[in-house]
Amino acid sequence: MIILDGKKTAQDLKEEIKISVASIRENNQRPPHLAAVIVGNDGASLTYVGSKVRSCEYVGFDSTLIQLEESTTEETLLEKIKELNQDANLDGYIVQLPLPKHIDEEKILLAIDPTKDVDGFHPSNFGRMALEMDAFIPATPFGIIELLERYKIETSGKHCVVVGRSHIVGRPISILMSQKGSAGNATVTVAHSRTENLANLTRNADIVVMALGIPEFLTADMVKEGAVIIDVGITRVSDDRHPKGYVIKGDVAFDEVSSKSSYITPVPGGVGPMTIAMLLKNTLLAYQRKL
């Protein structure tokens, strides 16, 4: 069994991006610039945004954190988005989700200029991705593809079962893995909460992508010997023995499943770190596409 080390792979990617940024700076050009907008004080969201900003600094990007009050109106947020769309010195930006309930997420998403949508959530990018055109691919599925490529995992002709059909993980990874090309050409089955006999599907899969958000859902009896297991799940589970009062669990019962698998991503340290690295990669792409 080989661990798909997302932490190391993400670090390798960051070093590569850092080198690209250093050469941009040596040519006296402005570096790529990413902004992050956060509305409110949700602890997990603040942590995610904080680490995105720190990663920008690490690779030498310019970064801007825009922190707005929980009570910010939809109108004010839309104004801010208009400003960001018009800012010629900004290559890409993200609006951290979830937004407070009084703000319509779809409206906000549609207002983002697709050429700056480094999260790849705008329908224009999603459609372009599905049509195999140049697009910003959502960072988490993009990170999974990168991991599969870097570890040279054969996907062509393999049966892949994706559990979860969300717009940010399950649906896009199922599209990408069924497309022609690298880390693609798989025969993909998408499962969800209405799927019957899920274990029968996963037991016949060469590759299982778990993206549902139920801790340790995938157990050893649900996988076949030698399967590749990608665990996207991140759930905080209360644990008084831990100083933080919780531990992070994936969707896979790692200890029992790992001994049956050929490759497996750990949680933490698997898909999670790749997500931030791919956001940086998308920002660099946004910068390069402008040139």
Q: Does 168 bind ligand NDP (CB under 6 A)?
A: yes
Which of 24/228 has CB closer to ligand NDP? 228
* Candidates 19-27, 30-38, 159-167, 237-245; binding stretch for ligand NDP (CB under 6 A): 159-167
Residue 213 binds ligand NDP (CB under 6 A): yes
Does 164 engage in binding with ligand NDP (CB under 6 A)? yes
- Can you read off the two tokens belonging to residue 289? 């596409």
Distance CA 283, CA 285 (A): 5
Strand, helix or coil at 44? helix
Residue 234 binding ligand NDP, by CB under 6 A: yes
Q: Is 67 a catalytic residue?
A: no
Which parts of the chain fold into alpha helices (H)? 6-26, 43-59, 74-86, 105-111, 123-130, 139-150, 170-178, 198-203, 254-258, 271-290
Active site residue 62: no
Catalytic residue among 5, 117, 119, 231: 119
3-state secondary structure of 137: coil
Q: Is 119 a catalytic residue?
A: yes
One residue of 140, 155, 174, 265 binding ligand NDP per CB under 6 A: 140
Residue 138 as a binder of ligand NDP (CB under 6 A): the answer is no
The catalytic residue among 14, 52, 80, 281 is 52
Which among 80, 91, 96, 117 is annotated as catalytic? 96
- Smallest CA-to-CA distance from 17 within 289, 278, 290 is with 278
For ligand NDP, the binding residue among 20, 64, 67, 166 (CB under 6 A) is 166
**The two structure tokens encoding residue 87:** 């800012």
The token pair at 15 is 């070093």
For the chain, count helices (H), then strands (E): 10, 11
* CA pair distance 72, 139, nearest whole angstrom: 27
For residue 40, give the nearest of 101, 118, 109, 108 by alpha carbon.
Answer: 101
Does 211 interact with ligand NDP (rule: CB under 6 A)? yes
* Minimum distance from residue 232 beta carbon to ligand NDP (Å): 4
Comparing CB distances to ligand NDP, the nearer of 7 and 76 is 7
CA 252 – CA 211 distance, rounded (Å):
10
Q: Is residue 165 within the footprint of ligand NDP (CB under 6 A)?
A: yes
CB of 275 to ligand NDP, least distance (A): 3
SS3 228: strand
Place of tokens 């209405």: 194
Interface segment toward ligand NDP; rule CB under 6 A; list 35-43, 83-91, 162-170, 221-229: 162-170
CA distance 186 to 252: 22
CB of 76 to ligand NDP, least distance (A): 26
Binding site for ligand NDP (CB under 6 A): 140, 163-166, 168-170, 191-195, 198, 211-214, 232-235, 271-272, 275
Q: Any idea which residues carry the catalytic annotation?
A: 52, 96, 119
